[in-house]
Structure 1
Amino acid sequence: MSGVPILSLMLAIPTVAAIACLFAGDRNARLIALAATLVDFALGVMLWANFDIGGAQWQFVESAPLFGRFNYALGIDGMALMLIMLSVFLMPLCILASWESITKRVGLYMAMFLIMEVVMIGVFMAQDLLLFYVFFEAGLIPMYFIIGIWGGANRIYAAFKFFLYTLLGSVLMLIAMIAMIREAGTTDIPTLLNYNFPPEMQTWLWLGFFASLAVKMPMWPVHTWLPDAHVQAPTAGSMILAGVLLKLGSYGFIRFMMPMFPEASAEFMWLVFALSMVAVVYTSLVALVQSDMKKLIAYSSVAHMAIVTAGLYALNQQGIEGALIIMLSHGVVSAALFFCVGVIYDRLHTREIDRYGGLAVNMPAYALFFMLFTMASIGLPGTSGFVGEFLSLAGIYEASSTVAFVCTTGIILGAAYMLYLYRRIVFGELTKDDVKAMPDLNPREWAILAPLAAVALWMGVYPESFLAPMRGDVTTVVARLAPAKPAGDAHLAAGKPKPAAAGHGEASGEAHHAGGVQ
C-alpha cells in the first residue's frame, strides 16, 4: 500500500458522505451513510492486514505543513490501529440500528454520525498535538446534536450537561498543551513522547490533562453526566458513546499522560487508584438499585472504565495490556447491551425493568444473544471480558494487592447486577399481554447482533490477534515509565522499589525499538 494515503481516505470518505446526506432524501441518506461506513470498515481491515507487527512504531505516516506550528500529520501505532478498528466496526452497526427508529431529519442525523466517525478516528490518527485537540473537541458537536435533537424527553438538559462537563475540563488540557509546545518547541507527538519535561512542570501538565480525560472516561466523581446522556440518547447514540467516545479518555491516558509525564504518573498513582476503587464499588452498588435498563448499563460502564484506569496505572505490561483489551471488549459488549435494550424498547416503548419478564418464551433468539453479552460483561471465560479483566487484575495485583482486592469485589458486584437484570427481563412467567405480543429478532437485528457476538467470542478465544499489534507499543510505554516507577510503587508498597520491573521494562523497550516484538 506504499504511496496510498489510506488514513486521509478514511477521513475523507465519511466527510464527503456527510455532506451528501444533508442534501439527500431520507432513504438515500440511510444508504449513503451505510455505504460510507462499510467502505471505511473495509479500509480499516486493509489497514490491519498491512500493519507490520514488529516493524516501525509509527506506520502509514502522512504529513503536510499547514500554518505556523500546525501540521496535518497522521500516523498510527498498534494501539491506535485497534481503536480505529473498533470505531469503523461499530459505525455501520449504529447506522443499521437507526434504520427504522429515526424518522425525523434523517439526513442531518446520518451526517452527524458520519462526522462523529471522522473525529473519532482522527483522534487516534493525529500525530500533531493541535490536530489531536481539534479532533478531540470536535467530537462534542455531533454528540451534542444527536442527544439534543433525537433524544428523550429531557434531552436538552442531558445534552447541555454533557457539553459543559467535557468542555470545561478540555480548556485546562488546552492550557497544558500550550505550555508543552512552548517548552518543547514542537507540536509533533512522536517527538513529545520522548521529550523529558522538568519534573515540577510534569505535575501541572498531568493535572491539566487529567481534568479533561477524567471527565471524558468518565471517572468518579465527574461521571454524573454519563447516565443522563445514555438515558436520553437514541439507541445508536448510546452505542457509540459507550463503544468509542468513552475510550478517548483512556486513550489520552496511555498516549499522553503516562509516556510524556512519567514522574507525575508515578507520583499520582495513588490518586488514580483511589478514585478507581471508589468508582468500581460505588457505581456497581448504584447499578444494583436501578429500575431503568439504560441507567444500569451506564453505571456498569463507569465501573468497567474504573478497572481500565487502575490497570493503566499499575504501570506494568500486564496491567496496561489488560486495560487495552477491556477497552476493546467494553466497546463491543456495551454497544451490544445498549442495542439489546433498544430492541425491546422499540417494541414496548419503555425501559422499566419491571415491565418485562419471560422473554425467553417468545423471544428465544434475543434471550440467547442477551445472555452472551451479559456473560461477556461479567467476564465469563471464553468471552472478551475475561481476558481483559484477568490481565488487568494480574497487573494491578503486582502493584497493590489491596487495589486488586477492591477491583475484584467490583467484578463480583457486576455479576450480581447483570444477572439480576437478565433474570428479571428474560426469565419468569410471561403474563403481560403486550410482552406476549413482542416478536423475536428480525433480519436487521440479527445482522447487528451476530457480528458483535462473533467479535466478543473471537476476543475471548484468541485474544492474541488483538494483543499482538499493541504489545510492542505497551512495552515502549512501560520502558518510558521504568525510571519513575520505583517512586510510584513506593507510594503503595511502603518504600519498596522494584528494580527488577524497571530493568525488564528497559530491556523490553530496547527489544521493541530493535523491531523484536515477542
Structure 2
Amino acid sequence: MSPWLPILMAVPVLGAVVVALLPKGSDKLAKQVTLLVSLAVMVLTLVMAVQFKPGGDRFQFVAEYDWIPSFGVKFGVGVDGIALVLIALSAVLVPIVVLASWNDADGVKTADGTVIAPKRSVKTYFSLLLVLETMMIGVFAATDIFLFYIFFEAMLIPMYFMIGSYGGAQRSYAAVKFLLYSLFGGLLMLVAVIGLYFAAGKGTFMFPELIGAIQDPNTQKWLFAGFFVAFAIKAPLVPVHTWLPDAAAQAPAGAAVLLVGVLDKVGTFGMLRFCLELFPEAAKTFTTPIVVLAVISIIYGAIVAIGQTDMKRLIAYTSISHFGFIVMGVFAMDQIAQSGATLYMVNHGFATGALFLVAGFLIARRGSPYISDYGGVQKVAPLLAGFFLVAGLAGLSLPGLSSFVSEFMVMIGTYSSVAFGSGALAVAAIVSAVAVILAAVYILWVVQRTLNGPTAESVKGFKDLNVREVVVLAPLVALIIAFGFYPKPLLDVINPSVEQTIQNVKVETPAIAEKGAGN
C-alpha cells in the first residue's frame, strides 16, 4: 500500500477547506494559500513521478481501502504510465491557472474603466479550483471503476460553478448546457458500470480484475456503447460536441484551460483505458465508424474554427479537431498511434492552455473577445504578441514544438496500422492530413488579424505583460519547446503502458510481433 496518491488527493481538498474558512476580507491570503497548496501538489507529483518504474508493475503506487464491502466497491487507486503523465499535466497546470486567475474574481475593468466582470467571492473561486484538482487526480488514479465514475461525475460540480458564477454574459446558459450533456453521458455510463458488475459476476469493480471478464460479444457491444457515448461527450467528439464552444467561451480563461486541457482528456483516457481493455471485441467491431467520426471531427473542427470571430470559441473548435486526432490514434489499435495519442493529450494541454491564457490576457485588456476589435497588438505589447505567436504555432503543430511530435506519431501510426489488414486506416490518416493545412489557415488568420496590421485605436493604451503574466506563460512555452525537441522522457513512461493495452486488446502490431519473435 502506497500513500502517494491518497496524499495527492487529500492535500488540495484540505487546502480548499482552509481557504473557505479564512475570515472575510482575506482575499489576498486566499490566493496565496491556494497557490502554495497547488505548488505543493505539483512538487509531490513530480517527486512521485521520479520514483515510477516504467519497466516495473503496470500499476504502481497502489492503495486499496474497503469502501462499500457488500458490493465489492473499494477506494482503489494506482497509476500506470498513461495515468501518471495526465496527473502530472493536471498538477503542472493548476498552479499556472491559479496565478493566471489572480484577478478573475476581483472584478475586471478595461483601460477606459468599463467593468467587464463584476467582483465575486474570491475565496469560493479558489476553493473550487483546489476541489477540482482533487477530482482530476482522482479520476486518472482510480482503479476501481465505480470510484472512477464518482470522480467522473463529481468533476462537474466545481466546473459548473466556475462557469456559471464567474463566466461571461451567457455563463448560465453555457454552464447548464455543459452540465446536461455531461449528466446524460454519465447516466449512460452508470448503467453500463452496473451492467458490467453483474455480467462479469466477479463481485468487484476493480479494473485489473475485470479485464477479460466479459466474453459474450453482444454483452460487450452494449456495455461498450454505454461507456463510449459518455466518453465521446466528454472528449468531445462530433456530433456530441456542441457544449464545448459555449462552455469554453463563457468560462474564465483559467477555468477554460482546465476544462479543455484536462477535463476533456478524461474522455479520451477512458476510451483508451476502459473501452479497449474491457470490451476488446466490441472495440474492434466499432473501430471503423469511430475512426470515421474522428476524421469528421478533425476536418469539421478545423473548418468551423476558420469562420469564428470570437477568440475563445476559435480555440475551442481547434480543440475539437485535435481531439479527433487523439480518438483516431486510440482506435488505430497501433502502438505508435496510441503512444502518440497519449502524448497528444499532454502536449495539447500545454499548447491550448497557453492559447487560452493569452486570449484571456488580451480580453482583460480590451474587454472584447472578438478578433475584429484588435489589430497591431505587437506594436504596443510585443511580449504579449510573442507568446501569442508561439502558442499559436504550437496549436498548428509546427515542427520543433511539442504538438508536432504527437500529431506526426498519430498519423504515421494510423497510416501504417496493420491491425485490421486493410487500407481503411491509411485512408483516414491521409484525409486527416488536410487538417494540417486548415490549422495553418485558422492560426495564421487570427495572428494576422490580432497582432499585425494597423494598430486599432482600442489597443493603443495596452500595457504589455507584467511579471506575473510572464511567469504564467513562460513555463508553458518552455515545456512546448522542450518536449518538441526531446519527448523521450514522456514516451519512456507512456510506451510500456500502451504496449500492455495493445496486448490486452489482443491486436498484434509489428512492434509486439517482433518482440514475441525475439522471445
TM class by shorter chain equals: over 0.9
1:274 aligns with 2:325: no
2: CA distance between counterparts of 1:263 and 1:450? 45
1: CA distance between counterparts of 2:188 and 2:285? 20
Gaps of 5+ in 2: 107-119, 418-424
**Counterpart in the other structure of 2:83:** 80
1:214 aligns with 2:215: no
One-letter identity of the residue aligned with 2:512: G
CA-CA distance at 1:271 after TM superposition: 1.1
1:299 aligns with 2:353: no
CA-CA distance at 1:57 after TM superposition: 0.8
1:262 aligns with 2:280: yes
**Counterpart in the other structure of 1:405:** 430
Tell me the alpha carbon deviations over residues 117-168 of structure 1, each in whole angstroms, 9 at most, x when there is no partner: 0011101111111111111110010010001100111111111100000110
**Counterpart in the other structure of 2:30:** 29
**Counterpart in the other structure of 2:383:** 365
Q: 1:325 to 1:303 in 2, by over 3 A?
A: same
Q: 1:364 to 1:503 in 2, by over 3 A?
A: closer
2: CA distance between counterparts of 1:116 and 1:425? 33
One-letter identity of the residue aligned with 1:39: A
Tell me the alpha carbon deviations over residues 92-139 of structure 1, each in whole angstroms, 9 at most, x when there is no partner: 111111101222201111111111100111011111111111111100
2: CA distance between counterparts of 1:406 and 1:32? 49
Equivalent position SS for 2:255: helix
User: For the Cα contact (< 8 Å) 2:374–2:458, is it kept in 1?
Assistant: no
Correspondence 1:318-467 to 2 at 5 A: 318-399=336-417, 400-430=425-455, 432-467=456-491
2: CA distance between counterparts of 1:295 and 1:417? 12
**Counterpart in the other structure of 1:505:** 512
User: For the Cα contact (< 8 Å) 1:476–1:509, is it kept in 2?
Assistant: no
User: For the Cα contact (< 8 Å) 1:170–1:211, is it kept in 2?
Assistant: no
**Counterpart in the other structure of 1:109:** 125
One-letter identity of the residue aligned with 2:430: F
Equivalent position SS for 1:158: helix
Equivalent position SS for 2:433: helix
Equivalent position SS for 2:399: coil
**Greater shift in the superposed pair: 270-279 or 188-197:** 188-197
Equivalent position SS for 1:219: coil
**Counterpart in the other structure of 1:498:** none
CA-CA distance at 1:297 after TM superposition: 0.5
Q: 1:52 to 1:378 in 2, by over 3 A?
A: same
2: CA distance between counterparts of 1:96 and 1:460? 25
Tell me the alpha carbon deviations over residues 372-427 of structure 1, each in whole angstroms, 9 at most, x when there is no partner: 11111111111001100110000111242210111111121011101111111111
**Counterpart in the other structure of 2:189:** 173
CA-CA distance at 1:193 after TM superposition: 2.6
CA-CA distance at 1:16 after TM superposition: 0.7
1:316 aligns with 2:334: yes
1: CA distance between counterparts of 2:514 and 2:214? 20
**Counterpart in the other structure of 2:64:** 63
2: CA distance between counterparts of 1:31 and 1:141? 24
One-letter identity of the residue aligned with 1:92: P
1: CA distance between counterparts of 2:415 and 2:175? 39
**Counterpart in the other structure of 1:13:** 11
Equivalent position SS for 1:71: strand
CA-CA distance at 1:510 after TM superposition: 11
Which of 96, 100, 109 matches 2:103? 100
User: For the Cα contact (< 8 Å) 2:2–2:62, is it kept in 1?
Assistant: no
1: CA distance between counterparts of 2:481 and 2:224? 37
User: For the Cα contact (< 8 Å) 2:380–2:462, is it kept in 1?
Assistant: yes
Q: 1:503 to 1:427 in 2, by over 3 A?
A: closer
CA-CA distance at 1:207 after TM superposition: 0.4
Equivalent position SS for 2:65: strand
Tell me the alpha carbon deviations over residues 214-246 of structure 1, each in whole angstroms, 9 at most, x when there is no partner: 000000011000000011101111111111011
User: For the Cα contact (< 8 Å) 2:373–2:458, is it kept in 1?
Assistant: no
1:136 aligns with 2:152: yes
Correspondence 1:149-164 to 2 at 5 A: 149-164=165-180
| Equivalences, count | 492
2: CA distance between counterparts of 1:387 and 1:503? 20
**Counterpart in the other structure of 1:47:** 48
User: For the Cα contact (< 8 Å) 2:2–2:63, is it kept in 1?
Assistant: no
2: CA distance between counterparts of 1:454 and 1:201? 47
Equivalent position SS for 1:75: strand
1: CA distance between counterparts of 2:66 and 2:505? 31
1:249 aligns with 2:233: no
1: CA distance between counterparts of 2:42 and 2:94? 8
1: CA distance between counterparts of 2:102 and 2:185? 34
One-letter identity of the residue aligned with 1:96: L
User: For the Cα contact (< 8 Å) 2:329–2:414, is it kept in 1?
Assistant: yes
Tell me the alpha carbon deviations over residues 157-204 of structure 1, each in whole angstroms, 9 at most, x when there is no partner: 111100000110111111111111112222111111343432221100
Identity over aligned pairs, percent: 38
CA-CA distance at 1:507 after TM superposition: 6.3
CA-CA distance at 1:317 after TM superposition: 0.6
Tell me the alpha carbon deviations over residues 264-317 of structure 1, each in whole angstroms, 9 at most, x when there is no partner: 111001111111111111121111111100110000000000011011111001
User: For the Cα contact (< 8 Å) 1:475–1:509, is it kept in 2?
Assistant: no
2: CA distance between counterparts of 1:480 and 1:301? 30
TM-score, scaled to structure 2? 0.92
Equivalent position SS for 1:38: helix
One-letter identity of the residue aligned with 1:403: A
Tell me the alpha carbon deviations over residues 27-55 of structure 1, each in whole angstroms, 9 at most, x when there is no partner: 12111111110000000110111111201
Root-mean-square deviation (CA, aligned residues, Å) is: 1.5
User: For the Cα contact (< 8 Å) 1:476–1:508, is it kept in 2?
Assistant: no
